[in-house]
Chains A and B, each alone.
Chain A
Amino acid sequence: MISTFKLVFSNVKFIGISLLIFIPMLVVLLTISEYIFFEPYVISHIPQGSEFGFTLIVILSVLSAIVIPMNIYRINMLKISKQKMGGGVFGSIIGAAAGACSCGPIGFAVISTFGSVGATATAFLTNYEIPIRIIAIAILAVTYFTTVKSLKIECKLDPSS
Protein backbone atom coordinates (compact mmCIF):
# COMPACT_ATOMS: atom_id res chain seq x y z
CA MET A 1 0.00 0.00 0.00
CA ILE A 2 2.81 2.37 0.98
CA SER A 3 4.73 1.59 -2.19
CA THR A 4 1.67 2.45 -4.29
CA PHE A 5 1.34 5.71 -2.39
CA LYS A 6 5.06 6.40 -2.94
CA LEU A 7 4.76 5.48 -6.60
CA VAL A 8 2.19 8.24 -7.18
CA PHE A 9 3.50 10.91 -4.84
CA SER A 10 7.19 10.52 -5.72
CA ASN A 11 6.20 12.57 -8.74
CA VAL A 12 6.22 16.28 -7.84
CA LYS A 13 3.39 16.93 -10.30
CA PHE A 14 1.04 14.77 -8.24
CA ILE A 15 2.11 16.40 -4.98
CA GLY A 16 1.16 19.68 -6.64
CA ILE A 17 -2.22 18.32 -7.73
CA SER A 18 -2.78 17.01 -4.22
CA LEU A 19 -2.05 20.42 -2.68
CA LEU A 20 -4.23 22.10 -5.29
CA ILE A 21 -7.11 19.93 -4.12
CA PHE A 22 -6.39 19.92 -0.38
CA ILE A 23 -5.82 23.60 0.34
CA PRO A 24 -8.79 25.12 -1.56
CA MET A 25 -11.14 22.35 -0.44
CA LEU A 26 -10.15 22.74 3.22
CA VAL A 27 -10.37 26.54 3.13
CA VAL A 28 -13.72 26.57 1.27
CA LEU A 29 -15.32 23.94 3.52
CA LEU A 30 -14.04 25.57 6.71
CA THR A 31 -15.31 28.94 5.46
CA ILE A 32 -18.81 27.84 4.52
CA SER A 33 -19.08 25.87 7.75
CA GLU A 34 -18.00 29.02 9.64
CA TYR A 35 -14.75 27.78 11.12
CA ILE A 36 -12.82 30.50 9.26
CA PHE A 37 -13.90 34.09 8.66
CA PHE A 38 -12.26 36.60 6.34
CA GLU A 39 -14.32 39.68 7.16
CA PRO A 40 -13.96 42.01 8.96
CA TYR A 41 -10.82 40.19 10.17
CA VAL A 42 -9.21 36.89 9.26
CA ILE A 43 -9.96 34.64 12.19
CA SER A 44 -10.46 30.94 12.85
CA HIS A 45 -12.78 29.61 15.47
CA ILE A 46 -14.02 26.14 16.48
CA PRO A 47 -17.19 26.59 18.52
CA GLN A 48 -17.74 24.27 21.45
CA GLY A 49 -19.59 21.18 20.25
CA SER A 50 -18.44 21.57 16.62
CA GLU A 51 -15.12 19.73 16.96
CA PHE A 52 -16.43 16.55 15.30
CA GLY A 53 -17.68 18.44 12.25
CA PHE A 54 -14.27 20.14 11.97
CA THR A 55 -12.48 16.78 12.15
CA LEU A 56 -14.70 15.32 9.40
CA ILE A 57 -13.90 18.26 7.10
CA VAL A 58 -10.16 17.74 7.61
CA ILE A 59 -10.46 13.97 6.94
CA LEU A 60 -12.58 14.61 3.85
CA SER A 61 -10.07 17.09 2.44
CA VAL A 62 -7.08 14.82 3.15
CA LEU A 63 -8.77 11.79 1.53
CA SER A 64 -9.84 13.81 -1.51
CA ALA A 65 -6.28 15.10 -1.87
CA ILE A 66 -4.99 11.52 -1.89
CA VAL A 67 -7.65 9.66 -3.87
CA ILE A 68 -8.19 12.10 -6.75
CA PRO A 69 -4.46 12.44 -7.67
CA MET A 70 -4.07 8.63 -7.49
CA ASN A 71 -6.92 8.26 -9.95
CA ILE A 72 -5.47 10.97 -12.18
CA TYR A 73 -2.20 9.02 -12.08
CA ARG A 74 -3.99 5.87 -13.21
CA ILE A 75 -5.64 7.70 -16.08
CA ASN A 76 -2.63 9.74 -17.21
CA MET A 77 0.28 7.42 -16.60
CA LEU A 78 -1.36 4.08 -17.30
CA LYS A 79 -3.85 5.28 -19.91
CA ILE A 80 -6.69 3.54 -18.15
CA SER A 81 -10.36 4.41 -18.57
CA LYS A 82 -11.80 7.31 -16.57
CA GLN A 83 -14.53 5.11 -15.08
CA LYS A 84 -12.85 4.66 -11.69
CA MET A 85 -12.32 8.38 -11.28
CA GLY A 86 -16.01 8.66 -10.38
CA GLY A 87 -15.80 7.39 -6.80
CA GLY A 88 -13.25 9.97 -5.68
CA VAL A 89 -14.97 12.92 -7.31
CA PHE A 90 -18.43 11.78 -6.20
CA GLY A 91 -17.29 11.31 -2.59
CA SER A 92 -15.64 14.73 -2.56
CA ILE A 93 -18.68 16.49 -3.99
CA ILE A 94 -21.28 14.99 -1.68
CA GLY A 95 -19.00 15.54 1.29
CA ALA A 96 -18.58 19.16 0.30
CA ALA A 97 -22.31 19.70 -0.30
CA ALA A 98 -23.24 18.51 3.18
CA GLY A 99 -23.42 21.42 5.53
CA ALA A 100 -22.79 23.99 2.81
CA CYS A 101 -26.50 24.67 2.65
CA SER A 102 -27.21 25.68 6.24
CA CYS A 103 -27.96 29.15 7.50
CA GLY A 104 -25.02 30.72 5.68
CA PRO A 105 -24.99 32.64 2.39
CA ILE A 106 -25.24 29.50 0.21
CA GLY A 107 -28.34 28.23 1.99
CA PHE A 108 -29.86 31.72 1.94
CA ALA A 109 -29.22 32.04 -1.81
CA VAL A 110 -30.66 28.57 -2.53
CA ILE A 111 -33.81 29.23 -0.48
CA SER A 112 -34.26 32.72 -1.93
CA THR A 113 -33.95 31.33 -5.46
CA PHE A 114 -35.86 28.05 -5.21
CA GLY A 115 -38.36 28.80 -2.44
CA SER A 116 -39.86 25.87 -0.56
CA VAL A 117 -38.11 23.27 -2.73
CA GLY A 118 -34.78 24.92 -1.92
CA ALA A 119 -35.72 25.07 1.75
CA THR A 120 -36.52 21.35 1.81
CA ALA A 121 -33.25 20.48 0.08
CA THR A 122 -31.14 22.69 2.35
CA ALA A 123 -32.94 21.39 5.43
CA PHE A 124 -32.09 17.83 4.36
CA LEU A 125 -28.42 18.66 3.75
CA THR A 126 -28.23 20.51 7.08
CA ASN A 127 -30.10 17.92 9.13
CA TYR A 128 -27.97 15.06 7.83
CA GLU A 129 -24.67 16.97 7.53
CA ILE A 130 -22.67 14.59 9.74
CA PRO A 131 -24.02 11.30 8.29
CA ILE A 132 -23.55 12.62 4.73
CA ARG A 133 -19.94 13.56 5.48
CA ILE A 134 -19.33 10.12 7.02
CA ILE A 135 -20.80 8.46 3.91
CA ALA A 136 -18.58 10.65 1.72
CA ILE A 137 -15.53 9.64 3.74
CA ALA A 138 -16.54 5.97 3.41
CA ILE A 139 -16.87 6.35 -0.38
CA LEU A 140 -13.44 7.98 -0.56
CA ALA A 141 -11.92 5.26 1.65
CA VAL A 142 -13.38 2.49 -0.52
CA THR A 143 -12.16 4.32 -3.65
CA TYR A 144 -8.70 4.61 -2.10
CA PHE A 145 -8.43 0.88 -1.42
CA THR A 146 -9.78 -0.12 -4.83
CA THR A 147 -7.37 2.33 -6.49
CA VAL A 148 -4.41 0.94 -4.53
CA LYS A 149 -5.44 -2.59 -5.44
CA SER A 150 -5.80 -1.84 -9.13
CA LEU A 151 -2.51 0.11 -9.20
CA LYS A 152 -0.74 -2.89 -7.69
CA ILE A 153 -2.15 -5.14 -10.39
CA GLU A 154 -1.67 -2.67 -13.24
CA CYS A 155 1.87 -1.69 -12.18
CA LYS A 156 2.72 -5.28 -11.26
CA LEU A 157 3.85 -4.27 -7.78
CA ASP A 158 4.63 -6.87 -5.16
CA PRO A 159 1.20 -7.49 -3.49
CA SER A 160 2.89 -7.95 -0.12
CA SER A 161 4.48 -4.48 -0.22
Chain B
Amino acid sequence: MHAAERPAPALIRIRNLAKSYRRGGQVVPVLTDITLDVRAGDFLGLMGPSGSGKSTLLNLIAGIDKPDAGEILFDGVDITRLGERELADWRAGTVGFVFQFYNLMPVLTAYENVELPLTLTRLSRRERRAHVEAALALVGLSERMAHYPAELSGGQQQRVAIARAIISDPRLIVADEPTGDLDRHSAAEVLALMDRLNTDLGKTIVMVTHDRRAAERAHAIMYLDKGELSTAADVHERSVR
Protein backbone atom coordinates (compact mmCIF):
# COMPACT_ATOMS: atom_id res chain seq x y z
CA MET B 1 0.00 0.00 0.00
CA HIS B 2 2.82 2.36 0.81
CA ALA B 3 4.07 4.39 -2.09
CA ALA B 4 7.50 4.65 -0.47
CA GLU B 5 10.65 3.58 -2.26
CA ARG B 6 11.53 0.90 0.30
CA PRO B 7 8.36 -1.13 0.77
CA ALA B 8 7.95 -2.41 4.33
CA PRO B 9 7.09 -6.08 4.82
CA ALA B 10 3.39 -6.85 5.16
CA LEU B 11 2.25 -6.66 8.79
CA ILE B 12 -1.13 -8.15 7.91
CA ARG B 13 -1.51 -10.75 5.17
CA ILE B 14 -5.09 -11.68 4.37
CA ARG B 15 -5.61 -14.64 2.07
CA ASN B 16 -8.83 -15.93 0.53
CA LEU B 17 -10.95 -14.62 3.36
CA ALA B 18 -14.65 -15.45 3.30
CA LYS B 19 -17.44 -14.65 5.70
CA SER B 20 -21.17 -15.13 5.56
CA TYR B 21 -24.08 -14.65 7.95
CA ARG B 22 -27.24 -16.60 8.48
CA ARG B 23 -30.41 -14.57 8.24
CA GLY B 24 -33.76 -16.29 8.59
CA GLY B 25 -32.32 -19.65 7.57
CA GLN B 26 -30.56 -18.19 4.55
CA VAL B 27 -26.79 -17.91 4.16
CA VAL B 28 -25.84 -14.40 3.08
CA PRO B 29 -22.24 -14.08 1.86
CA VAL B 30 -20.62 -10.86 3.10
CA LEU B 31 -16.99 -11.32 2.07
CA THR B 32 -15.78 -13.61 -0.68
CA ASP B 33 -12.19 -14.51 -1.39
CA ILE B 34 -10.60 -11.35 0.02
CA THR B 35 -6.84 -11.11 -0.37
CA LEU B 36 -5.04 -8.07 0.97
CA ASP B 37 -1.69 -7.01 2.41
CA VAL B 38 -1.30 -4.19 4.91
CA ARG B 39 2.25 -3.11 5.61
CA ALA B 40 3.51 -1.82 8.93
CA GLY B 41 2.91 1.92 9.14
CA ASP B 42 0.14 1.90 6.55
CA PHE B 43 -2.96 4.05 6.95
CA LEU B 44 -5.60 2.16 5.01
CA GLY B 45 -9.09 3.49 4.41
CA LEU B 46 -11.90 1.05 3.71
CA MET B 47 -14.89 2.49 1.89
CA GLY B 48 -18.03 1.10 0.39
CA PRO B 49 -21.79 1.26 0.58
CA SER B 50 -23.72 0.14 3.63
CA GLY B 51 -23.77 -3.63 3.96
CA SER B 52 -20.75 -4.03 1.70
CA GLY B 53 -18.84 -5.89 4.41
CA LYS B 54 -16.27 -3.26 5.36
CA SER B 55 -17.04 -3.40 9.09
CA THR B 56 -17.02 -7.20 8.91
CA LEU B 57 -13.56 -7.11 7.33
CA LEU B 58 -12.38 -4.67 10.01
CA ASN B 59 -13.76 -6.93 12.76
CA LEU B 60 -11.97 -9.92 11.29
CA ILE B 61 -8.68 -7.99 11.09
CA ALA B 62 -9.14 -6.88 14.71
CA GLY B 63 -9.75 -10.43 15.87
CA ILE B 64 -13.25 -9.85 17.25
CA ASP B 65 -14.92 -12.06 14.66
CA LYS B 66 -14.02 -15.36 13.00
CA PRO B 67 -14.02 -15.98 9.22
CA ASP B 68 -15.63 -18.96 7.53
CA ALA B 69 -12.52 -19.55 5.44
CA GLY B 70 -9.13 -18.05 4.67
CA GLU B 71 -6.36 -16.80 6.88
CA ILE B 72 -5.26 -13.56 8.51
CA LEU B 73 -1.57 -13.55 9.28
CA PHE B 74 -0.51 -10.81 11.65
CA ASP B 75 3.24 -10.63 11.76
CA GLY B 76 3.32 -14.27 10.74
CA VAL B 77 0.71 -15.47 13.27
CA ASP B 78 -2.57 -16.76 11.85
CA ILE B 79 -5.04 -15.15 14.24
CA THR B 80 -7.95 -17.16 12.82
CA ARG B 81 -6.47 -20.21 14.52
CA LEU B 82 -6.15 -18.64 17.96
CA GLY B 83 -8.50 -19.71 20.78
CA GLU B 84 -10.73 -17.21 22.61
CA ARG B 85 -8.29 -16.63 25.47
CA GLU B 86 -5.26 -16.32 23.17
CA LEU B 87 -7.17 -13.99 20.89
CA ALA B 88 -8.19 -11.80 23.84
CA ASP B 89 -4.55 -11.58 24.94
CA TRP B 90 -3.50 -10.83 21.37
CA ARG B 91 -6.06 -8.04 21.08
CA ALA B 92 -5.06 -6.56 24.44
CA GLY B 93 -1.43 -6.28 23.37
CA THR B 94 -1.76 -5.61 19.65
CA VAL B 95 -4.95 -3.79 18.72
CA GLY B 96 -6.34 -0.41 19.67
CA PHE B 97 -10.03 0.16 18.99
CA VAL B 98 -11.76 3.37 17.97
CA PHE B 99 -15.54 2.99 17.58
CA GLN B 100 -18.09 5.24 15.96
CA PHE B 101 -19.96 5.77 19.24
CA TYR B 102 -16.76 5.91 21.34
CA ASN B 103 -17.84 2.99 23.58
CA LEU B 104 -16.47 4.55 26.74
CA MET B 105 -17.57 3.22 30.13
CA PRO B 106 -20.04 5.89 31.32
CA VAL B 107 -19.31 5.22 35.00
CA LEU B 108 -15.59 5.81 34.62
CA THR B 109 -13.83 9.15 34.22
CA ALA B 110 -11.73 9.96 31.17
CA TYR B 111 -8.65 9.00 33.17
CA GLU B 112 -10.15 5.69 34.30
CA ASN B 113 -11.38 4.85 30.80
CA VAL B 114 -7.91 5.33 29.36
CA GLU B 115 -6.39 3.36 32.23
CA LEU B 116 -8.76 0.41 31.70
CA PRO B 117 -6.62 -1.60 29.20
CA LEU B 118 -3.56 -1.11 31.40
CA THR B 119 -5.26 -2.93 34.29
CA LEU B 120 -4.70 -6.07 32.23
CA THR B 121 -0.94 -5.49 32.40
CA ARG B 122 1.48 -5.79 35.30
CA LEU B 123 2.26 -2.07 35.39
CA SER B 124 2.25 -0.42 38.79
CA ARG B 125 -0.28 2.27 39.63
CA ARG B 126 2.43 4.92 39.27
CA GLU B 127 3.49 3.59 35.87
CA ARG B 128 -0.09 3.46 34.74
CA ARG B 129 -0.60 7.04 35.84
CA ALA B 130 2.39 8.20 33.81
CA HIS B 131 1.12 6.40 30.70
CA VAL B 132 -2.44 7.69 31.06
CA GLU B 133 -1.34 11.28 31.59
CA ALA B 134 0.90 11.08 28.54
CA ALA B 135 -1.89 9.63 26.39
CA LEU B 136 -4.40 12.22 27.51
CA ALA B 137 -1.84 14.98 26.91
CA LEU B 138 -1.33 13.64 23.41
CA VAL B 139 -5.03 13.97 22.63
CA GLY B 140 -5.17 17.38 24.33
CA LEU B 141 -7.39 16.39 27.24
CA SER B 142 -5.07 16.76 30.23
CA GLU B 143 -7.54 19.16 31.79
CA ARG B 144 -10.48 16.79 31.42
CA MET B 145 -9.08 13.74 33.18
CA ALA B 146 -11.64 13.75 35.96
CA HIS B 147 -14.61 14.26 33.67
CA TYR B 148 -17.11 11.53 32.95
CA PRO B 149 -18.04 10.81 29.31
CA ALA B 150 -21.42 12.49 29.75
CA GLU B 151 -19.57 15.69 30.69
CA LEU B 152 -17.56 15.71 27.45
CA SER B 153 -18.49 16.65 23.87
CA GLY B 154 -18.60 13.99 21.17
CA GLY B 155 -15.22 15.06 19.82
CA GLN B 156 -13.68 14.97 23.29
CA GLN B 157 -15.15 11.53 23.95
CA GLN B 158 -13.66 10.25 20.71
CA ARG B 159 -10.28 11.69 21.70
CA VAL B 160 -10.53 9.86 25.02
CA ALA B 161 -11.32 6.70 23.04
CA ILE B 162 -8.23 7.32 20.90
CA ALA B 163 -6.13 7.78 24.05
CA ARG B 164 -7.54 4.46 25.30
CA ALA B 165 -6.73 2.86 21.93
CA ILE B 166 -3.06 3.84 22.08
CA ILE B 167 -2.49 3.41 25.82
CA SER B 168 -1.07 -0.10 25.55
CA ASP B 169 1.09 0.95 22.58
CA PRO B 170 -0.60 -1.38 20.05
CA ARG B 171 0.89 -1.90 16.60
CA LEU B 172 -2.51 -1.77 14.93
CA ILE B 173 -5.36 0.67 15.37
CA VAL B 174 -8.73 -0.20 13.90
CA ALA B 175 -11.25 2.59 13.57
CA ASP B 176 -14.86 1.98 12.57
CA GLU B 177 -16.42 5.23 11.33
CA PRO B 178 -14.47 7.29 13.90
CA THR B 179 -15.99 10.56 12.64
CA GLY B 180 -19.45 9.18 11.88
CA ASP B 181 -21.02 10.74 14.97
CA LEU B 182 -19.09 14.02 14.97
CA ASP B 183 -19.58 17.51 13.62
CA ARG B 184 -17.18 18.76 10.96
CA HIS B 185 -14.86 20.55 13.36
CA SER B 186 -14.59 17.65 15.79
CA ALA B 187 -14.15 15.22 12.90
CA ALA B 188 -11.23 17.27 11.60
CA GLU B 189 -9.60 17.21 15.05
CA VAL B 190 -9.99 13.46 15.34
CA LEU B 191 -8.64 12.86 11.84
CA ALA B 192 -5.65 15.11 12.52
CA LEU B 193 -5.00 13.08 15.64
CA MET B 194 -5.16 9.82 13.74
CA ASP B 195 -2.83 11.26 11.16
CA ARG B 196 -0.35 12.03 13.94
CA LEU B 197 -0.63 8.53 15.36
CA ASN B 198 0.31 7.21 11.96
CA THR B 199 3.05 9.63 10.99
CA ASP B 200 4.60 10.45 14.40
CA LEU B 201 4.07 7.19 16.27
CA GLY B 202 4.18 4.86 13.30
CA LYS B 203 0.89 3.14 14.11
CA THR B 204 -0.67 1.00 11.40
CA ILE B 205 -4.25 2.15 10.99
CA VAL B 206 -7.16 0.49 9.24
CA MET B 207 -10.17 2.79 9.12
CA VAL B 208 -13.67 2.17 7.87
CA THR B 209 -15.43 5.31 6.74
CA HIS B 210 -18.21 6.68 4.61
CA ASP B 211 -16.69 10.13 4.74
CA ARG B 212 -14.55 10.96 1.73
CA ARG B 213 -12.73 13.72 3.63
CA ALA B 214 -11.83 11.18 6.30
CA ALA B 215 -10.69 8.69 3.67
CA GLU B 216 -8.42 11.30 2.14
CA ARG B 217 -6.29 11.15 5.28
CA ALA B 218 -5.47 7.52 4.47
CA HIS B 219 -2.46 6.61 2.39
CA ALA B 220 -4.50 4.09 0.47
CA ILE B 221 -8.19 3.49 -0.02
CA MET B 222 -9.78 0.14 -0.77
CA TYR B 223 -13.38 -0.23 -1.81
CA LEU B 224 -15.65 -3.04 -0.80
CA ASP B 225 -18.78 -3.76 -2.73
CA LYS B 226 -20.85 -6.93 -2.60
CA GLY B 227 -18.09 -8.61 -0.66
CA GLU B 228 -15.36 -7.91 -3.15
CA LEU B 229 -12.36 -5.68 -2.69
CA SER B 230 -10.98 -3.25 -5.26
CA THR B 231 -8.57 -0.31 -5.38
CA ALA B 232 -9.42 3.27 -6.33
CA ALA B 233 -7.96 2.63 -9.78
CA ASP B 234 -10.25 -0.38 -10.29
CA VAL B 235 -13.24 1.69 -9.29
CA HIS B 236 -12.22 4.48 -11.67
CA GLU B 237 -11.76 2.00 -14.50
CA ARG B 238 -15.18 0.49 -13.90
CA SER B 239 -16.84 3.89 -13.83
CA VAL B 240 -15.16 4.93 -17.14
CA ARG B 241 -16.40 1.75 -18.81
A and B: real partners?
no
- Which B residues have a C-beta under 8 Å from some C-beta of A? none
